[in-house]
Structure 1
Amino acid sequence: MSISLPPLRRLRILAALSLTAGAPPAGPPRTIILFVADWCAPCHAEIDRLPEIVAAARPWRVLVAQGDAAPDDRLLARVPADRRWTPPDGAARRAFLSATAGLPYAVALDGAGRICADTRRGLNGARTAALVTACSSAPSP
């Protein structure tokens, strides 16, 4: 399982975010963002494991975002309000999602709020810890 973000893919995401936001992209620093949708069965399992994921990510924060263009908030309603994340505009979410062919999808953001690792597999404790480790050892952009 490869969790580190390949350099070319990282550049593509950064370029897309820069073009849509007008500045280098930044999200919440030292955060893992899970993109989910109600129709995604693995996403439901991921939300069921949210306490395990949060524990494995510490001291990083874990947030959940709607990953569907036509959102259905039933799954997100199961997530505590302080764990939900909505980008300031739709452009950042579109740029994040342009890097994946489906859900579930998760990104890890480094101390500057930039994507440093991602995974297309549903998270559990071990995969979450691997994302944090990948970001902690990733060279600064």
Structure 2
Amino acid sequence: MDNFTTFVTFIDQWAWIGWLVLIAVFLVIEMLSLDFTFLMLSFGSVVGLVTDLIGVPVWVQVIIAAAAAALFILFLRPPLLKRLRRGEDPTKSNVDALVDLRGIALHEITQISGQVKLANGDTWTARTATPVPIPQGAPVAVSAINGATAIVRPVND
């Protein structure tokens, strides 16, 4: 039992280094992910460090740090994310910009194959989501993009 007591005393004396390491690791991961989750975990670790400096037992430090991190994730992270994304450009881009884009069927489009020329000038392989084929030359609109294939629907203008 003497070795165990020595080990617990050692952990209790040097826990502040563990908290500093956790804070640093979480901050580095946050810089790579930019999602605020690891930032909240580092804030929880700061709370754990403060409780260690006050003299709280290690097992209580861990519980308090975990609870603080959970509260930060639940209550601080959502408004920070909302504030961060407030100035984003609402314009759709990439694949999202293709949904609802109109085009013309270059070949008959079935559930298996087809080709479409979109209004932006791109030519895509295409499929229809319905069993009814779309004839060549018919106007279409993109419903979704599945890999490199446009899922299209007929448009009746």
| TM-score tier (shorter) | under 0.3
Relative to the length of structure 2, the TM-score reads 0.18
Higher-Rg member (1/2): 2
TM-score, with normalisation over the residues of structure 1?
0.20
Higher helix share: 2
Q: Which has the higher contact order (CA 8 A, sep 6+)?
A: 1
